[in-house]
Amino acid sequence: MISIEEWNARIDAFVREENRNIGKKVPVRRIFCQDDTDRSGGGIYNETVTLDTIGRFARALGDSNPLFSDPRYRPGGGPGTTSANSPHSVPGAAGPLQAPPLLECCICSTFIGGKMPRLRGISVYDAGTKWERFLPIFPGDSFSAQTTFLGVTEVSGSASAGASADASPAARLLLREHQIDLTNQRGEHVSRLTARSIIKCAPPLKNTFPDLSADSAGVQNESRKIDNGTAKVHSGFRELSAETTAAAEQDPKGGRPHYTEAELERVYANLDLQLAGGFRRGPEPRYWEDVEIGQELPEEIVGPYDESDGQALMAAIGAANAFATKWAAIRFRKGQGVTDPLTGAHRHPIDRHYSDTIARAQGLPRAIVSGIHSQALLAKSVSDWMGDFGFLRSLDCRCRKPLYFGDISFQRGRVTGRFEKEGNYYAELELEAVRQDGTRHTTAKAIVRLPSRRD
């Protein structure tokens, strides 16, 4: 076992080495079966967007909007349909007129592992991405991508490099950021993704796979401090005590919450409304002039999250591997010690997103939901609210705490501002996704372009 001084020295050296690459640009390459491809800039999952790419992603969000699933659908007759400012300005476009927000996650990976400190007990978590879309994405568009490294910084509040040998240090938390720019076949700069990940370095004697707790999951942009906030429990759901929650998380049988019939009926009723388009503005324009500060978005509920939900996302993205190509990824990670306690076989760390057993082998109470899914569900709620003639210009997300398998998530939001810029009209939104126990697991700020009656 290494000393605390050596532990800190290795982390400090890692940060210095990583920050020598600030500003370095690396092409993002397609993910092939061969394992010798340079993927230091991440990987492209789907170079070309098709009707099926859009449809699979919409289904992974439970999004029944015909704009994303029915090639015959046209919103038609809305404002700005012939305007250069309209997201639907391509006459006669075949199929869905616009890809749903955050479809970029199906084009390329936002989670770039990169180099890690040469230490045991390293855990990496999605801290959230700022998704910016400048132009709409249409079926048939093909993309190239480039990653720019933005560096690694230490999250305030984690252990300092000057901890003494006699101290009992907490984990050190590092924030890694990189920027991905997507360009289509016409040479247009379509999207920019500023992706963030938390690297949690567990100190000696504590360097087993740690739980994703409040001190490792969320980073505020301004102060880089950890958010410990909670939100109000949804009416009709029991508020679980800390003792009840802890007991569930330590349950060797999995610890997934068990809900009453009344609680589940509230979820099912909300899902019925989503399926019927009850929260969806659709072809009826939401004019900028009609939006008021303080206006709330309809609350959308999903869950309890289960294996089918996670598999739907992986199917949409196309990020899965099996057998030999899976082994190509596993064999480089055997040192992380993720072993199936039932079979004894090595497992890929990503399996924490599918299996309670593998999640617990990594120190988690049960399988955790991909941060991409939580962010995309907030984007869906915005898409429903803004309607077919709105355009989600940016969504700046923070993954603050985990959403586990078995959890129910409530997507909420409200209007916080309105402004006009260069002849376009925008609304600002604040969004949150909250677990059934009131824990806020994902937050976001959005900027939406809306049609105006002045157009």
pLDDT tens digit sequence for 187-231: 999 999 999 999 989 887 754 433 333 333 333 333 223 233 444
Query: 207-235: buried (b, 16+ CB within 10 Å) or exposed (e) per residue?
Result: bebbbbebbbbbbeeeeeebbeeebebbe
Architecture of domain 1-226: Roll (3.10)
φ, ψ of residue 326 in degrees (nearest 5): -65, -45
The C-alpha atoms of residue 306 and residue 316 are separated, in whole angstroms, by 16
The C-alpha atoms of residue 176 and residue 22 are separated, in whole angstroms, by 11
pLDDT at 113: 62
Closest CA relative to residue 236, chosen from 257, 273, 267: 267
Tokens of 279: 């929260």
Is residue 395 helix, strand or coil?
strand
pLDDT at 46 exceeding the cut of 90: yes
pLDDT at 203: 85
Strands 43-44 vs 25-30: parallel, antiparallel or unpaired: parallel
The C-alpha atoms of residue 9 and residue 173 are separated, in whole angstroms, by 14
29-36 contacts at long range (C-beta below 8 A, 24 or more positions apart)? 33/324, 33/325, 33/328, 35/325, 35/328, 35/329, 35/332
Which run of H or E residues covers position 192?
strand 189-201
Residue 251: beta bridge partners?
none
Is the CB of residue 64 less than 8 Å from the CB of residue 105? no
Residues 6+ apart with CB under 8 A from 268: none
Single pTM value for the model: 0.85
May I ask the CATH class of domain 229-305+369-455? alpha beta
pLDDT at 220: 32
Q: pLDDT confidence of 249, banded at 50, 70, 90?
A: very low
Closest CA relative to residue 226, chosen from 172, 299, 268, 266: 172
Per CATH, 1-226 and 229-305+369-455 having the same topology is answered yes
Q: Work out the percent of the chain whose per-residue pLDDT is above 90.
A: 60
Is the CB of residue 384 less than 8 Å from the CB of residue 67? no
Domains in the chain: boundaries: 1-226, 229-305+369-455
> pLDDT per residue over 256-285, tens digit each?
999 999 999 999 999 999 999 999 999 999
pLDDT at 161: 42
Least confident of 82-86, 169-173, 254-258: 82-86
The CA-atom distances, in angstroms, between 380 and each of 92, 107, 177, 307 are: 25, 18, 25, 20
**Secondary structure of 429-441 in the HEC alphabet?**
EEEEEEECCCEEE
Tokens of 225: 């401090």
49 secondary structure, DSSP code = -
Largest alpha-carbon pair distance within the chain?
Answer: 72
